[in-house]
Every structure is written in C-alpha cells, then in structure tokens.
Structure 1
C-alpha cells in the first residue's frame, strides 16, 4: 500500500487532469488490454490490438504485462498532442531511463531487447516510440473522441461530488482501492511506502485503462498523479446506450452544452467549448439559442462572459436524469 500524506496546502491543490494524455494513455492501454477481463470489456479495441500485433510487438515485449511501469512513459508534459508526448519520452535523461526500467524489470525475464532498453539504447527507445505511435493510431484513435467525452463526463461528476461533500467526500468516493483516512490517502498501488506531498497537491485522472488497481506517479517538486480505474464508456464495450431524451429534444451538442452549464462553474464560452468538444463559435451559437429559450443566463464577469443554467434549464436536465431507466 502507498500512503500519501496530505497537508491543508495539498488539499487546496487537489485537481483533475483537464484532458487525456495521448502518450500516457497508450502506455496504460498497452498493459490493461493484456488483462483478459479488461480486454473482454472493450472487444473493439481488443480486436484492433490483435490486428496490429506486428507493429505493437516492441511495446508489448518491452513493457511488463502488468504492474509497475517506468514513470517516464507517462510524463506530465506532452498533453497537447501525441507527438509532443512522444518527444518528451524520447528526451528523457539516460540516467532516469536506466533507473526506472531497472525497477520495472525486477520480476521480468531478461531478453536481449530488454537488456538494451535497461541500458537506454537509443535504437530500442526509437523502436518503443514508433510502437507507441502505432498503438495510438491503430488502436485508440478511432475511439479517441468517445474516450475524451467520457473523461469530461467523469471529471464533471467528480466536480459535482466535490461541490456537495468537499475534498474528503471526493477522495473517499474515487475507487475501492483508494481510502481517505485524514490526513492520509491510502492507495492500493503497485508501489509501497509513505510519501509526504509537501504542498504540491494531487492530480486525479480517471481512466478505463488504469488496470486492476490505481497507479501513482511521483516526481520531485510536482503534484502526485493518481490514475484510478473507471468503467469504459459504453461506446467502447458494444453495449447499447440508453436513448437520451434531452438530446432528442435539443440535439446532442446543445444538450451537452446545457448540461455543462448546470455543473459547478464558472463557465465561459471557451470552457463550454472545451467541455463539449466544439469550437468557440459553435459554443457561442448554442449558448445564444439556450439563452433565448430561457434555459441559460449570461453575465459579464471582468473581461469574460460567464454562463449558468437557469432554474428552468436545471429542471429540464433533472427531468432528463430521472427519465432514463437505470440512472
């Protein structure tokens, strides 16, 4: 068990990753989809892994099938694109590569390629990066929009929980492998020990590819990154989704915009655009129509316009929540 000691300064710096990390998600998925239960839950992705197996072989051979992986393969930087993340990975100092690969290989059978990886051989690193690129484009890219939408939804739900029950309630409800015993966050991670965060806080990332237990990334003078398992979005597991009555009334995008404005804010035109995965101009158009219908109110706050669902808009969203079976 890993025990993270949080001070009041750490609790004030608990936040969520605002988007998925493309390269980091590749690393997580490459391990998770080798777990039979996880692969069975996302059959479409599992089939793509099988079809792309030759291109993915270096990644699957160099990465342990489960457990501790080198932290440099899930970097804090490189969020903006896959190529940015791969560039950060490829530029990792040799000393760090050697130390982290050696730790990850403690219980892995030695091979020539793994030995060269543990020595930070540039050619092996190039092969690994190429395989990660192939993994993203051949396995994850077709469902990346669905994964991004699911991430935004999970973060929104967590934000609601935080608004209702504070940091303690949020940390207590993340996952069965995470327990909040103030001032300690106990995590059933692959690593063990006691870590004091020193006021740098936590970054929380829900992921369907976290694996059977949460993962924790620790780097000096940075917040602890806690990746915890969540259910994969329905679009990835072949289940039929329940029809969305609100989307049928307003349209899927406008429904998403309205729902976002009911969550804890503030919500600017730009933040709504990011949450809904649309352009700023499209966000502005949808907000204008919702405002004209009396579902959203807008006001100026400094240099920005902020938007909030009206009581009528909130009631409409709540009615939709109760109308769907099984919610």
Structure 2
C-alpha cells in the first residue's frame, strides 16, 4: 500500500486533469490491454490491437505489460494532440531517458532493443514514438470522442460529490482501492511506502485503462498523479454503442447537431442530406438547436451556413 501524506496546501490543490492526454493514454492502454481480464472486457479495442500487429511491436517490447514505466513516456505537457505529446517524449534529455529506463528495467529480461533503449539510442526512440502514434490512430482514435465523454462524465460525478461532501467526500468515494484517513490517502497501488506531497498537490485521473489497481506517479516538485479505474464507455465491451445525446434530444436532432459539429461547410440542405431528413425538418431542428445556444447560423449569399457553438462542440466531443 502507498500512503500519500497531504498537507493543507495539498488539499487546496486537489484537481482533475481537464482532458485526456493522448500520448499518456496510449501508454496506459498498451499496458492494460495486454492483461487478459481487461482485454476480454474490452474486445473491440483488443481486436484492433491484434489487427495492428507488427506496427505496435516496438511499444509492447519496450514497455512492460505491468509494473513501472519510464516517467517520460507519460508526459504532463503535449496534451493538445498525439503529435504534441510525442514531440515532448522525443525531446526528453538523454540523461533522463537513460536514468528512467534503467530504473524501470530493474529485473526485466534483457534484449538488444532494450539495451539500446536504456542507452537512449535515437533509432529505438524513433521506433517507440512511431509505434505510439500507430497505437493512437489504429486503436484509440476511432473511439476517442467516446473516451473523452466518459472522462468528462467521471469528472462531473466527482465534482458533484465534492460539492455535496467536500474534499473528504471526494477522496473517500474515488475507488474501493483508495481510502482517505486524514491526513493520509491510502492507495492500493503496485508500490509500497510513504510519500509526503509537500504542498505540490494531487492530480486525479479516472481511466478505464488504469488496470485492476490504482496507479500513482510521483515526480519531484510536481503534483502526484493518481490514476484510478472507472468503467469504459458503452460499445467498447462489444455491445452496441450508445448515442449519449439521443435520449436527450432524440435521434434525429442528435444526428443534426453531430453533423453541424463536424469540420466543413454546412448548409440547411447538406445537413438534411446527411441526416436523411427533409430540408424543412432540417430547418426546424436547426432552429431549436440555435435557440438552445448549440448552433449559430449566418447567411452566405443564397445559403445559410450553420456551425456548432462551443457548447455544441463540447456536447458532441467531435
């Protein structure tokens, strides 16, 4: 068990990651989906991993399926896109790569590629980054919007708990493997020991790829990161994928909003064509969405162009 000692300053700095980090999620998923129980629970993703085959082999060989991974492959920065995150990973100083890989490989079977990785070999680092890019695009990206919505929902539920019961209620209700015994947060992680956060604070990340136990990342002079398990979004378990907006708006209006939120030029007629409805019905749905602040419209010559507002984009996560 890992015991995190929180001072008053740490409690005032308990936060959630505001979005999923593409590169760090690749690392978590690549470890999680090599464990038979989780692969069986997420057959859609597990099938994509199997189909991707050789493209993912460097990642699977260099990063163990469980246990510690080098910190630099789960960066804080580069959250905006997979390319930003990979650029941060690739720019890690050689000295840091060597130290972290050597520490993570303690007790791991040796191989030529792993030795070169531990020596910060440029070719091996490039192969790792290429495999991580392939993992994101081939395994995660098709369901990235659903994973993002799932993250927002988990954070929203935790925020509501905090509003009702304060920090104690929040920390006590994260996961059965996490217990709050003031001033200590006990985490049934893979590590043991005591860590004093020293006022740097605590980041919380709900993830369907955390594995059977919560994971904790401790870095000097930075907030501790606790990754804890949550259920995966519907559809990744092999069942039908749910439209999260259909129950709220109805299927047709949900389809209209989803189409408007996509990149491109959207007219009343083009939206009608994509949604399979009449132009008059398209106009009615767009008017309702505009009144709700989800769509904005402007005239462009003989056509009216529509786009999703920031709120509409947030709802669709497209």
* Paired position in structure 1 for 2:48: 48
What are the Cα deviations for residues 129-150 of structure 1, in whole angstroms up to 9, with x where unaligned? Answer: 0000010011111011110111
* Paired position in structure 2 for 1:78: 78
Query: Do the aligned partners of 1:146 and 1:233 also contact (CA within 8 Å) in 2?
Result: yes
Tell me how far apart the structure 2 counterparts of residues 242 and 144 of structure 1 sit (CA, whole Å).
14
Tell me how far apart the structure 2 counterparts of residues 8 and 126 of structure 1 sit (CA, whole Å).
43
Question: Where do residues 217-296 of structure 1 align in structure 2 (5 Å cutoff)?
Answer: 217-240=217-240, 245-248=247-250, 251-252=253-254, 286=289, 288-289=291-292
DSSP-derived class of the 1:162 partner? helix
TM-score, normalisation: structure 1: 0.76
DSSP-derived class of the 1:34 partner? coil
* Paired position in structure 1 for 2:135: 135
Note the C-alpha offset of 1:102: 1.6
DSSP-derived class of the 1:186 partner? strand
Tell me how far apart the structure 1 counterparts of residues 89 and 247 of structure 2 sit (CA, whole Å).
44
Tell me how far apart the structure 1 counterparts of residues 188 and 81 of structure 2 sit (CA, whole Å).
30
Q: Which has the larger radius of gyration?
A: 2
DSSP-derived class of the 1:236 partner? coil
Query: Do the aligned partners of 1:69 and 1:104 also contact (CA within 8 Å) in 2?
Result: yes
TM-score, normalisation: structure 2: 0.78
* Paired position in structure 2 for 1:260: none
Note the C-alpha offset of 1:221: 1.7
Cα root mean square deviation, aligned: 2.3
DSSP-derived class of the 1:154 partner? helix
Comparing 114-123 with 191-200, greater Cα deviation is found at 191-200
What are the Cα deviations for residues 20-42 of structure 1, in whole angstroms up to 9, with x where unaligned? Answer: 00000000000000011111111
Query: Do the aligned partners of 2:234 and 2:242 also contact (CA within 8 Å) in 1?
Result: no
Cα distance 1:12–1:251, how it changes in 2: closer, same or farther (>3 A)? farther
What are the Cα deviations for residues 248-285 of structure 1, in whole angstroms up to 9, with x where unaligned? Answer: 399449999xxxxxxxxxxxxxxxxxxxxxxxxxxxx8
Query: Do the aligned partners of 1:197 and 1:224 also contact (CA within 8 Å) in 2?
Result: yes
Cα distance 1:190–1:103, how it changes in 2: closer, same or farther (>3 A)? farther
Note the C-alpha offset of 1:171: 0.7
Tell me how far apart the structure 2 counterparts of residues 253 and 153 of structure 1 sit (CA, whole Å).
21
Cα distance 1:173–1:65, how it changes in 2: closer, same or farther (>3 A)? same
Q: Is 1:150 the equivalent of 2:150? A: yes
Tell me how far apart the structure 1 counterparts of residues 200 and 290 of structure 2 sit (CA, whole Å).
36
Query: Do the aligned partners of 1:247 and 1:254 also contact (CA within 8 Å) in 2?
Result: no
Query: Do the aligned partners of 1:246 and 1:255 also contact (CA within 8 Å) in 2?
Result: no
* Paired position in structure 1 for 2:92: 92
Cα distance 1:290–1:137, how it changes in 2: closer, same or farther (>3 A)? closer
Cα distance 1:242–1:84, how it changes in 2: closer, same or farther (>3 A)? closer
Query: Do the aligned partners of 2:257 and 2:289 also contact (CA within 8 Å) in 1?
Result: no
Note the C-alpha offset of 1:288: 4.0
Note the C-alpha offset of 1:198: 1.4
Tell me how far apart the structure 2 counterparts of residues 67 and 287 of structure 1 sit (CA, whole Å).
50
